[in-house]
Structure 1
Amino acid sequence: MDNVLTLISKPAAGVLNVNVVEEVRASLTRAGAIVSPPNWLSPDEAVDLAFDALASQDAETITRQALDGQPLDVIAQSTLRRKKKLIIADMDSTIVEGETLDDLAEFAGIKDQIAALTARAMNGEMGFTEALKTRVALLEGLHESCLADTMTHVRLHPGALALIYTMRANGAFTALISGGFSYFTDRIRKQVGFHMSLGNKLEIIDERLSGQVLAPVVDKNTKLEMLIDMAAQHGLGMTDTFAIGDGANDVPMLKAAGMGVAYHGHPVARENARARLDYADLTGALFIQGYRRDEFCESPLSHKEY
């Protein structure tokens, strides 16, 4: 069949079961779809339903109506080139929990003030570059050691390692591109195993933040340009690309990618992305591509540093 609908549950949530799947199948069949028996990617966690004779968007709408608010992620798509060969991921609130700039601001005693500006930028209520420069200016004079202190508290979102390890093991190129800071993207790249990373650079003079961001600023346009450029460099069409992020700064790349996913996203990202993961962890990005749980890589390919 040419299309597939995937239902994904938060791990161990106990929501996804045979009865739920059969109700979805029945709803799709009543709408005129031809639906195959369920193909479980992971018991009680993720399942594929291959189908024909119904548009993907209609299949998603009908499924969400059938689920009636149950906490399950729903993605319908073509089966063509489902496993992607390039992924670009945002860092803050996507690969890692929380916003590293907000956490850094805690050392200056202004976390709430900075976080309010961050939220406005992520919701698209304030231009990203303006918000970035305003927030960094408030950190003027902060000692650079606070960057290392902040890094010790950074935590990966569950599934981050499995996502990148698995895609690398299957030949995909992996990139971490963030409007956050290169101090953190460089370290997260090594920790998670991305091929490359890109972030904004803080100006540091005499061991203290100057309150300035060095040009050029990595913003939404940079992310989109990198997606397009890296696809071309690797001889890939956009169908072969995957992008994942949570905020307004990610929207252009989410819309352009073959599969763009809003991960626990702000409304502006959820409304513009091809798909969204509201409940699952980052392994949901693998289920979207059709990987089975027993195909996940839980360790890097080698012990050498990426």
Structure 2
Amino acid sequence: MHQQTSQALDNITAPPVASKPDLDRPGLLIMDVDSTLIDEEVIDLLGMAAGVGERITTITDHAMCGELDFAGSLKARVKLLRGLPVSAFDKVYAEVHFTRGAIDLINELHRHGWKVGVVSGGFHDIVDRLARQAHIDHWLANRLGTAHGVLTGEVIGQIVTKETKLHALRQWSADDGIDPDQIVAVGDGANDIPMIRAARLGIAFCAKPAVRREADRAITQRDLMEVVRILNE
């Protein structure tokens, strides 16, 4: 059995599931982006750039706790961004940071023949860049309306909801020919719960209480390499 330091054990809570995905067989890791793959909430940073940061952060907090319908809350927050220059995305991208261990986790899973996907309630303007930089295999996010170089305050097309995240898990695993027993899902918000439930191993990452209750395991420190340590137990 893989040996862990006492510190690592302290940072992983909940008993192990009866069986879990095998790191040495092809698998799929699917995870959230904001506050999971990265440390920040992109829409909150956009809100700050637009001068409505506090209003947007309050809505975000309630949505991630499951107290608001995600689609409705996203529309309300995006509406507040109307008129923000699209150039703000360059500034925001420079302000986001990959969570500690994120790149190491992705590289380690790729080394073992796994695929990695991210599905986000955030925006392609940022997620596309993150995915390319981190060599992620699949990604999905929302698209924002623009006109004359500014945001229109609207979301274009279907909003990425908790149901969308679940569908992505199923679609990508089917496309890659991944055994359902080889799927891991990681997230922190209420909209991640369906994919966490559906995965063979669902992990709540520095998550809200409602998410921890639904997950097989909970990681309480901001280090995504804890996922590998769980798989190696």
Q: Above 0.5 in TM-score?
A: yes
1:243–1:259 CA contact under 8 A, matched in 2 = yes
Structure 1 residue ranges without an equivalent (≥5): 1-38, 48-69, 292-306
Instruction: Check 1:43–1:268 CA distance in 2 against 1; reply closer, same or farther (3 A cut).
Output: closer
Partner of 2:35: 93
How is 1:238-249 mapped onto 2 (pairs within 5 angstroms)? 238-249=180-191
Task: Please point out which of 67, 82, 88 is paired with 2:22.
Answer: 82
Partner of 1:296: none
The separation in 2 between residues aligned to 1:201 and 1:280, in whole angstroms, is: 28
Partner of 2:99: 157
Task: For 1:132, give the aligned amino acid.
Answer: L
How is 1:76-225 mapped onto 2 (pairs within 5 angstroms)? 76-79=16-19, 81-83=21-23, 85-225=27-167
Task: For 1:192, give the aligned amino acid.
Answer: A
Deviation sequence 1:89-138 (CA, Å, 0-9, x none): 10000010120000111011111110000011100000000000000001
Task: For 2:3, give the aligned amino acid.
Answer: L
2:204–2:211 CA contact under 8 A, matched in 1 = yes
User: Taking structure 1 as the reference length, what is the TM-score of the superposition?
Assistant: 0.72
1:178–1:200 CA contact under 8 A, matched in 2 = yes
Structure 2 residue ranges without an equivalent (≥5): none
Please report how far the alpha carbon of residue 46 of structure 1 lies from its aligned counterpart in structure 2 after TM superposition. 4.3
Higher relative contact order (CA 8 A, sep 6+): 2
SS of 1:158 mapped into structure 2 = coil
Partner of 1:260: 202
2:65–2:208 CA contact under 8 A, matched in 1 = yes
Deviation sequence 1:178-229 (CA, Å, 0-9, x none): 0100111101101212112111001110000000000111111111011111
Please report how far the alpha carbon of residue 42 of structure 1 lies from its aligned counterpart in structure 2 after TM superposition. 4.3
The separation in 2 between residues aligned to 1:162 and 1:178, in whole angstroms, is: 20
The separation in 2 between residues aligned to 1:248 and 1:282, in whole angstroms, is: 19
The separation in 1 between residues aligned to 2:20 and 2:160, in whole angstroms, is: 32
Partner of 1:281: 223
Deviation sequence 1:49-101 (CA, Å, 0-9, x none): xxxxxxxxxxxxxxxxxxxxx65534412345432600111000001012000
Does residue 41 of structure 2 align to residue 41 of structure 1? no
Deviation sequence 1:124-157 (CA, Å, 0-9, x none): 0000000000000011001111111111000111
SS of 2:62 mapped into structure 1 = helix
Greater C-alpha Rg: 1
How is 1:13-92 mapped onto 2 (pairs within 5 angstroms)? 39-46=1-8, 72-79=12-19, 81-83=21-23, 85-92=27-34
2:21–2:184 CA contact under 8 A, matched in 1 = no
Work out the percentage of aligned pairs sharing the same amino acid: 32
Instruction: Check 1:242–1:124 CA distance in 2 against 1; reply closer, same or farther (3 A cut).
Output: same
The separation in 1 between residues aligned to 2:27 and 2:79, in whole angstroms, is: 39
Structure 1 residue ranges, 4+ long, deviating more than 4 angstroms after superposition: 42-47
